[in-house]
Amino acid sequence: MKNEVKIQEVNPSLDSRRSFLKLSGLTLVSAGLVLAGCSDNDNEDNMQDNSLPGIKNGVFDLGSGDFGVLTYAYALEQLEADFYTKVVNSSSFNSVFNDTEKQVLTDLYHHEVVHRDFFKAALTGALPDPSSQLLPSLAFNYGSLNFNSRNEVLATAKALEDTGVAAYNGAGRLIKSADYLLLAGKIVSVEARHASAIRSLINPNSKDFAGDDIVNTSTGLDVAKDPSKILPIAGGFITTKFTANYLP
């Protein structure tokens, strides 16, 4: 772990990203072990509080507790905001999408940028030392994703929105503050509205807006996933290294 790259570094190469994903996957799977194993390091770090986000062993860790969950949400919102910013600024945006699709994607761009900037402001205001504890602006790489392809953009949007819903649904139980829980609730239903809209654009005359692939056919429940299941998915687009060693 001594030679971890600093968080601000952007490495867009696919190979590097893959190797990081493997690394982060391992880290996440063994989070419990890491937690136990990190106690020695924490002593070296002047008894650094694991609940706070910040650099640990040279890599930014999201932390745990409410700040950890909010920072996790901030990372996901950064991804969504960046994706839709690229979508609406693509040179072929006006020719590839019809008016309805353009309206939906432009609205999603607005909403996700607002979500991202909200989390940045909220965390900056709430963290004891935001200069070291605020997650930096992440860098992204979409690999071979063709932003001029309607189908690829909508399929990616669907994956991001469904992932966002599952992430917030899974993270709610990790939040201690009723105020933060309500804020997450205010956002997750908008993500679900988005997911429904994107799914309808892809397959309009169908039940896909709340399809059987996503809503359990016996309980009627949507998906809920822990951060350790979400980050390997979202991490496919995120090139900035960070860890989530203290989230389940």
Partner 1 sequence: MNILKFIETFTDDNLMNSTGSRRDSFNQFGNIGKNLAYAAIPFGLSTFANKVMAKDITATPATPIGALQFALTLEYLENEFYAMALDSGVIPASENGGRDLKVFQQIAAHESNHVKFLIAGLGGTMSANFVAKPTFDFTVGGAFDPFHDYPTFLALAQAFEDTGVRAYKGQAANLITTPDLLTAALQIHSVEARHASEVRRLRGLKGWISNSERGAGMPAATQAVYDGEGVTMQAGFNTAMAFGAAAGSEAYDEPLTTQQVVDIANLFIV
Query: How far is the C-alpha of 127 from the C-alpha of 124, rounded, in Å?
Result: 6
Nearest to 68 by CA among 25, 22, 21, 35: 35
Q: Is 89 in the site for partner 1 (CB under 8 A)?
A: no
| Shortest distance, position 129 Cβ to partner 1, whole Å | 19
Question: By CB under 8 A, is residue 188 in contact with partner 1?
Answer: yes
Contact indicator for 246, 31 with CB cutoff of 8 Å: yes
Q: Which of residues 145-184 bind partner 1 (CB under 8 A)?
A: 165, 168-170, 172-173, 175-176, 178-179, 181-183
Q: Is position 210 an interface residue for partner 1 (rule: CB under 8 A)?
A: yes
| Helix, coil or strand: residue 145 | coil
Residue 23 and residue 46: Cα distance in Å, rounded? 26
User: Nearest-CA neighbor of 165 among 141, 187, 180?
Assistant: 187
Choice between 4 and 107, CB closer to partner 1: 107
Q: Return the residue of 17, 158, 194, 241 that touches partner 1, per CB under 8 A.
A: 194
C-beta atoms surrounding 67 within 10 Å: 22
Nearest Cα neighbor of 169 from 186, 194, 188 is: 188
Residue type, 239: T
Q: Considering the complex, what minimum distance in angstroms separates the CB of residue 246 from partner 1?
A: 17
Among 200, 229, 232, 236, which residue interacts with partner 1 (rule: CB under 8 A)? Answer: 200
Residue type, position 124, single letter: T
Report d(CA 150, CA 35) in Å as an integer: 43
If DSSP codes are grouped into helix, strand and coil, which group holds residue 243? Answer: strand
The answer to the question of residue 128 lying near partner 1 (CB under 8 A) is no
> Of the ranges 42-50, 108-116, 127-135, 144-152, which one interacts with partner 1 (CB under 8 A)?
108-116
Stretch that binds partner 1, among 56-64, 135-143, 210-218, 237-245 (CB under 8 A): 210-218
Q: How far apart are the C-alpha atoms of 212 and 175, rounded to whole Å?
A: 29
How do beta strands 54-56 and 242-243 pair? unpaired
Residues 58-87 that bind partner 1 (CB under 8 A): none
Closest approach of partner 1 to the CB of residue 26, in Å: 27
Residue 111, interface with partner 1 (CB under 8 A)? yes
- Closer residue to partner 1 in complex, CB, 123/138: 123
- The site for partner 1 (CB under 8 A) is made up of 103-104, 107, 110-111, 113-115, 117-118, 121-122, 125, 165, 168-170, 172-173, 175-176, 178-179, 181-183, 185-197, 200, 204-207, 209-211, 215-224
